[in-house]
């Protein structure tokens, strides 16, 4: 019968000669082969075979490397007969039950301690759990009474929906550690939505697709839309106006999405990708604007594959300065705060100062908790609060001019410290409609010549110029010069352009071109340009990978080029090793994603999540779910799964 496994089939699958048996044996052989090429040190882990279960510090790749160097064995799959130690930092109860009596689940600190002592230590002090501590704590939920009055408050509407949990969490089991976490609803855009343990009262119209976005459209076309059960902002008292609200306030969600720059940036990026897709679908096949390129025809010699990378310079600042020409050439930053422009009264400044001090205290409490410092101990919250006033802004700088960068100011910096570095710093507000308008003009200008475009964000794109250059037998540098001039005339903003044979080299060329320039990175210059490039500039190199490479003495591409492919694969894995080996030599096989399909629709809030009761939590989840439902309806799509993080 279908769905039933015959007796003994598990042994055929996993045993010698079965698919998984062969796969496991192959991985063991690969480990042994890679270990032969690694310089051996003291064999303190001889006889130890580990299996890493879940996320650990050090990570699995690092633990694998340690086993290679010190005589141990690393198992990609758990083997009840051969695995001697399971390494894990945390295991849910379901995984513990699956261990079937294997008690040697040890924290990764055991391995680092052995290395520090240069000998095999007793593992017992490092056990993740014992018989007395292996049971996972369980949250007891109370059932919600689902009466008719409650249901009537969740009436389905045309542009919103209400989701709620079937169970209620007792207030005494909800703590601030949970409330400070990020909350996100995540819906895939594939049909047949599944809503486990949630009531969905929304109505979706899969056949009603989104209407075309016109030039200069609102930046929240596919973003936040007002949910009907969301209270609109009220004037309130002066204190209400200046003290930061949290998510328990029914006005919070609307104000958050209205003022969140990350939300607007995300929406504009999605809009740009969908706009390029719509242009490609509706295109007639002709490019009348190419007539403007007649003077550039037959200006090229040999035409090679050419990828163009366009990135607007200080995009937010450049758009804002169109209405403030008096600030051109001065240090300027885009931020929510007014910074060094005090225009409030004495009482308002007092309230703002109190709010900033409270924010500092909360932040210090969070740092103390992470570092294990008791917040109740004397001096634990010692802060220089005497320097905190109404101008000590914690508003984040989204973009700053090159003049500001020369003063040491960077994007993402808090405005308060920035003003200390540069007291003459001028601040301008966000102009999201302006960003959307300029973005649309940028894409319209490029698409008038070619539609081989991969939209990256509202102000950045990759373009495959090869077909256009071959069609007109045109020199790439001359075309880019004319295109940049046209973009500047139409938008009033400057852009930088990089040209290379692949995506990676084009992006590296743009770094060389900034600000307000262009650069063609030719093959003979690749090695010289990349030699001093920091490894953190390479795609896929984050903080963890940087630490691994630093332990190998690798800090730039020149250092990376000295390692063989086998060495890199043995140290950081086959896939990552191959990618970095190629990137540091300017090799990139990635292709442009011309047909970008939206796979998820989400609403995320990572600020102000401080609840004191389950009622506040349930209200917030209802609002957030309604936001996701509204966005799905505007896109004319459905989802098949829901994720709450």
Rounded to 5 degrees, what are φ and ψ at 21? -60, -45
Rounded to 5 degrees, what are φ and ψ at 292? -70, -10
Active-site choice (460, 501, 627, 633): 460
Query: Among candidates 500, 588, 499, which has minimal Cα distance to 540?
Result: 588
Contacts of 508 (CB under 8 A, 6+ apart): 498, 500, 521, 529, 530, 533, 537
Strands (E), 237-301: none
In the annotation, is 460 catalytic?
A: yes
**Rounded distance between C-alpha atoms, residue 389 and residue 377, angstroms:** 26
**Rounded distance between C-alpha atoms, residue 312 and residue 496, angstroms:** 6
Tell me how far the alpha carbon of residue 220 is from its chain's centroid: 20
Residue 35 CB neighbour total at 10 angstroms: 19
- For the chain, helix, strand, coil in percent to 5 are 40, 10, 45
**Residues 427 and 333 sit within 8 Å (Cβ to Cβ):** yes
Tokens for 445?
């200008």
**Residues 222 and 631 sit within 8 Å (Cβ to Cβ):** yes
**Rounded distance between C-alpha atoms, residue 526 and residue 310, angstroms:** 19
Find the helix or strand (DSSP H, E) in which 114 lies: helix 109-117
Burial bucket for residue 211 (CB in 10 Å: 0-12, 13-18, 19+): exposed
**What residues act catalytically?**
460
């Amino acid at each position: 019968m279908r769905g039933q496994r015959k007796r003994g089939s598990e042994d055929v699958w996993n045993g010698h000669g079965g698919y998984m048996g062969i796969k496991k044996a192959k991985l063991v052989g690969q480990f042994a082969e890679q270990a032969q090429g690694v310089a051996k040190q003291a064999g303190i882990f001889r006889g130890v075979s580990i299996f890493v279960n879940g996320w650990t510090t050090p990570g699995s790749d690092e633990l694998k490397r340690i086993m290679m160097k010190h005589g141990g064995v690393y198992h990609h799959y758990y083997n009840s007969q051969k695995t001697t130690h399971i390494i894990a930092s945390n295991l849910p109860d379901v995984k513990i039950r699956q261990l079937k009596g294997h008690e040697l689940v040890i924290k990764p600190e055991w391995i680092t301690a052995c290395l520090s002592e240069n000998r095999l230590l007793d593992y017992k002090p490092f056990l993740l759990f014992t018989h007395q501590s292996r049971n996972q704590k369980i949250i007891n939920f109370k059932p919600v009474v689902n009466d008719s009055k409650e249901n009537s408050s969740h009436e389905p509407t045309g542009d919103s929906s209400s989701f709620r949990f079937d169970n209620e969490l007792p207030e005494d089991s909800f703590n601030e550690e949970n409330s400070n976490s990020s909350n996100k609803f995540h819906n895939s855009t594939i049909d047949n939505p599944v809503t486990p343990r949630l009531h969905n009262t929304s109505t979706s119209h899969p056949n009603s697709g989104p209407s075309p976005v016109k030039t200069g459209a609102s930046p929240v076309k596919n973003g936040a839309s007002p949910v009907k059960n969301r209270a609109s902002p009220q004037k309130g008292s002066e204190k209400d106006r200046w003290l930061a609200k949290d998510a328990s306030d029914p006005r919070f969600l609307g104000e958050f999405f209205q003022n969140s720059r990350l939300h607007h940036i995300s929406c504009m990026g999605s809009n740009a990708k969908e706009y390029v897709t719509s242009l490609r679908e509706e295109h007639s096949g002709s490019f009348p604007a190419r007539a403007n390129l007649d003077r550039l025809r037959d200006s090229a010699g040999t035409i090679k594959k050419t990828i163009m990378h366009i990135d607007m310079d200080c995009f937010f600042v450049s758009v804002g300065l169109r209405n403030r020409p008096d600030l051109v050439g001065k240090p300027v930053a885009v931020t929510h705060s007014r910074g060094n422009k005090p225009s409030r009264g004495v009482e308002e400044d007092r309230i703002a100062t109190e709010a900033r001090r409270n924010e500092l205290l909360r932040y210090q409490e969070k740092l103390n908790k992470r570092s294990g410092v008791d917040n109740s101990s004397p001096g634990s919250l010692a802060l220089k609060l005497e320097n905190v006033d109404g101008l000590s802004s914690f508003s984040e700088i989204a973009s700053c001019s090159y003049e500001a960068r020369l003063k040491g100011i960077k994007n993402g910096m808090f405005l308060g410290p920035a003003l200390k570095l540069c007291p003459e710093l001028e601040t301008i507000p966000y102009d999201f409609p302006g960003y959307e308008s300029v973005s649309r003009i940028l894409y319209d200008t490029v698409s008038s010549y070619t539609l081989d475009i991969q939209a990256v964000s509202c102000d950045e794109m990759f373009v495959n110029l090869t077909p256009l250059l071959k069609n007109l037998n045109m020199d790439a540098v001359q075309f880019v010069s004319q295109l940049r001039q046209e973009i500047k005339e139409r938008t009033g903003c400057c852009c930088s352009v990089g040209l290379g044979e692949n995506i990676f080299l084009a992006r590296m060329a743009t770094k060389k071109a900034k600000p307000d320039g262009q650069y063609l990175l030719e093959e003979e210059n690749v090695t010289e340009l990349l030699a001093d490039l920091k490894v953190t500039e390479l795609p896929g190199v984050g903080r963890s990978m940087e630490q691994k490479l630093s332990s190998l003495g690798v800090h730039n591409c020149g250092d990376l080029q000295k390692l063989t492919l086998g060495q890199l694969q043995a140290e950081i894995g086959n896939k990552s090793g191959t990618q970095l080996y190629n990137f540091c030599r300017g090799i990139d096989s990635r292709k442009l994603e011309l047909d970008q399909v939206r796979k998820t629709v989400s609403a995320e809030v990572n600020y102000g999540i401080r609840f004191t009761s389950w009622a506040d939590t349930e209200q917030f989840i209802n609002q957030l779910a309604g936001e996701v439902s509204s966005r799905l309806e505007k896109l004319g799509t459905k989802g098949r799964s829901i994720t709450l993080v």
